[in-house]
Amino acid sequence: MSDRIYIFDTTLRDGEQSPGCSMNIDEKIRVAHSLSALGVDIIEAGFPIASPGDFEAVHRIASEVHGPIIAGLARAAEGDIRRAAEAVKPAAERARIHTFIATSPIHMEAKLRMSPEQVLERAVDAVKLARSLAPEVEFSAEDAGRSDMEFLCRVVEATIAAGARIINIPDTVGYMTPVEFGGRIRELIERVPNSDQAIFSVHCHNDLGLAVANSVAAIENGARQVECTINGLGERAGNAALEEIVMILRTRSDRYDLHAAVDTTKIVPTSKLVSQITGMPIQANKAIVGANAFAHESGIHQDGVLKHQKTYEIMTPESVGLNKNRMVLGKHSGRAALKARYLYLGRELDAEQLVEVFNKFKILADKKKDIFDEDLLALLHGDGTIEDLRIKLAALHITSGMAETPVAAVEIEIEGVLHKAEAEGDGPVDASFKAIQSLVEPNGTLLLYAVNAITAGTDAQGEVTVRLQDGDRIVNGQGSDTDIVVASAKALVAALNKLPNMHARAVHAQYSGV
Ligand code: KIV
Ligand code: ZN
């Protein structure tokens, strides 16, 4: 059995299905480039039939991102498969169609309303069609964890015979336990007569907090592809976290003589990029990428680490890209250093962008001594892009204090025209949100407002995430500034920029100048 573990990243598909984590096309392309630099083997770029935007994202990633295999998801249905084939086509020999159908009794009866025989036939037809349209086909038996083993064996054998070279066994609802799931993989590999013609893959959800443990158990029992996401993003409680799986294999190489092609030093920058783009913060005690993952607080631990790093550290911060990440830039740093740092963070700036961001960098460096990577990412527009935004925050003036009603006066440029408004609020943030939202429509319902100090100290950049809902569309915006009210206003404006059809309100509160 091969000692190579293939890392299949589904941040852009299953990860993007997390509530509030949708990304626009440019954001998906940035994440895809970062995943390619990280060294994942397969990028599942999206679900092309889902929407024209999904199709375009997969198509552009297949055209522009080189290195990994590019997969597009398709239900076991002709329309889905043809659309996925078209979307991944630019990747040529690196194109993969990932087709799936549910095989558990509950899904077949209640959701598909199909008999097991019909499901089997549909799965085989889907794989054959996909195989005629793309060089590589992966088949997933959705809810395999709760499927009847006898039936699952028949489906797996038939889909391999039909041309699937990757067989994915998802624990769709995160129901399995490690020994049970590992046993299932072993049994499939042993019982299915043509199992040697396919790579077995797993896709575990984290509903019981076992996604990574189940994936590792599957690897121990012969799975050689793991489907996972950066920061464990994904439906409900998420998918298995890529960074955890990769670091388990590396840190416990004494136990697993297996290797993945991931450059682990790119883990932290990729994790930060995904968190920044999706607006999904990383919990401080998250393994590998949390802010506290390598922080030693207690005196005994600090003393131990100072005497010998291995007393309390089983892996080095450098191995996941953390210490290098701490290189600090300051006001004496030049453009070349800035450009190189952005390149390390997976952001290639052209000459014009570099000038723009360098000017902002100098302003920030005058306000705070040390500029960290988080500050640099935050310097790009609030939503993480440096493209032109439809609406921009031009000015914000706040009056606030104890026993005073906070008042905000804002100036916003909407498609090149300056608009002004003022409003009172329960606090300075509330006042500035009311003023900004009075100027545009649709202006969204606030679902989430979260503040995070992204660097240490009272001069820290504060990062604010705002989540807005308009109809069935949910968007995130982020903004950073050393002034938390300004960061909040930037985050709101970044989110508003993502609302389709957002425009200046015809009649709005008049600005009297505060
Ligand atoms: O969780 C799941 O079963 C999936 C499949 C589409 C692979 O995401
Ligand atoms: Zn899934």
Q: Report helix, strand and coil shares of the chain as percent, to nearest 5.
A: 45, 25, 35
pLDDT-derived band at 87, boundaries 50, 70, 90: very high
pLDDT of 297? 64
Where is pLDDT greater, at 349 or 194? 194
Residues near 165 by beta carbon (within 8 Å), at least 6 away in sequence = 136, 137, 138, 197, 198, 199
Ligand nearest to the CA of 99: 1
Question: What kind and span of H or E run contains 431?
Answer: helix 428-437
Residue nearest to atom 8 of ligand 1 (CA): 14
Q: In which order are the strands placed within the sheet that holds 462-470?
A: 445-453, 462-470, 473-481
Q: Are 396 and 432 in contact (CB under 8 A)?
A: yes
165 membership: H or E segment, kind and range: none
8 Å CB contact between 277 and 249: no
What residues are paired with 136 via a beta bridge?
96
458 pLDDT higher than 70: no
Mean pLDDT of 127-150: 98
Nearest alpha carbon, ligand 1 atom 5: 142
Which residue in the block uniquely carries the two structure tokens 């096309």? 25
* pLDDT classification of 371: cutoffs 50, 70, 90: confident
The share of the chain scoring above pLDDT 90, in percent, equals 64
- Which ligand has its closest atom nearest to the C-alpha of 170? 1
Hey, which residues does 169 pair with through a beta bridge?
202
The answer to whether the predicted template modeling score (pTM) of the entire model surpasses 0.85 is no
Question: CA–CA separation, 344 vs 342, rounded Å?
Answer: 5
Instruction: Please give the number of the atom of ligand 1 that sits closest to the Cα of 10.
Output: 8
**Which positions ≥6 away from 110 have C-beta within 8 Å?**
none
Confidence of residue 507 (pLDDT cuts 50, 70, 90): low
Quote the ligand 1 centre to 311 CA distance (angstroms).
40
Say how many Å lie between the CA of residue 103 and the centre of ligand 2: 14
Q: What are 470-501's pLDDT values in tens digits?
A: 887 778 888 878 889 999 999 999 889 888 78
Q: What is the mean pLDDT of residues 313-335?
A: 79
pLDDT digits (tens, 9 = 90+) for 205-262: 999 999 999 999 999 999 999 999 999 999 999 999 999 999 999 999 999 999 999 9
Q: Which residues contact 108 (CB under 8 A, 6 or more apart)?
A: 102, 114, 115, 116, 119
**Range with top average pLDDT, 110-119, 283-292, 492-501:** 110-119
8-state DSSP, 460: P
Q: How far, in Å, CA of 194 to CA of 336, rounded?
A: 55
Q: Residues with Cβ within 6 A of ligand 1?
A: 14, 100, 140, 142, 168, 170, 172, 203, 205
